[in-house]
Amino acid sequence: KAGVTQTPRYLIKTRGQQVTLSCSPISGHRSVSWYQQTPGQGLQFLFEYFSETQRNKGNFPGRFSGRQFSNSRSEMNVSTLELGDSALYLCASTLWDSTEAFFGQGTRLTVV
């Protein structure tokens, strides 16, 4: 069974640009969550989607947004990039009735 797949693995963007990251959950998993990991702040929850609906949201500015498609794949978008947005962005998927979250390898975003 394939794990959580995140694309791309690495991205370099310029301040002010926008970026879209993609996540394909484990087959059969319907919940997808996104986390930001930085050396200073650690792992922080961004948002969670289930059946195309955002059910939970962390304390991030509106520049961070996401969506989920009918096949459970999810994307997150960051607009007007800032240097501080440089981080490893992790996606996790969960079965609809389980608490176990399985993470992908992440997308390393560097903003220059």
Binding residues vs other proteins (CB under 8 A): 4, 6, 31, 33, 35, 42-45, 48, 50, 55-56, 58, 90, 92, 94, 99-106
Element (H, E) at 78: strand 74-78
Nearer to other proteins, 7 or 80 (CB): 7
Nearer to other proteins, 19 or 89 (CB): 89
CA atoms of 98 and 112, how far apart (whole Å): 39
Q: How far is the CB of 29 from other proteins (least distance, A)?
A: 11
CA atoms of 100 and 82, how far apart (whole Å): 32
Nearer to other proteins, 79 or 102 (CB): 102
Q: How far is the CB of 94 from other proteins (least distance, A)?
A: 6
DSSP string over 17-41: --EEEEEEPPTT--EEEEEEEETTT
Nearer to other proteins, 42 or 62 (CB): 42
Q: How far is the CB of 32 from other proteins (least distance, A)?
A: 9
35: Cβ contacts below 8 Å, ≥ 6 apart? 43, 44, 45, 46, 89, 90, 91, 92, 103
Q: How far is the CB of 84 from other proteins (least distance, A)?
A: 18
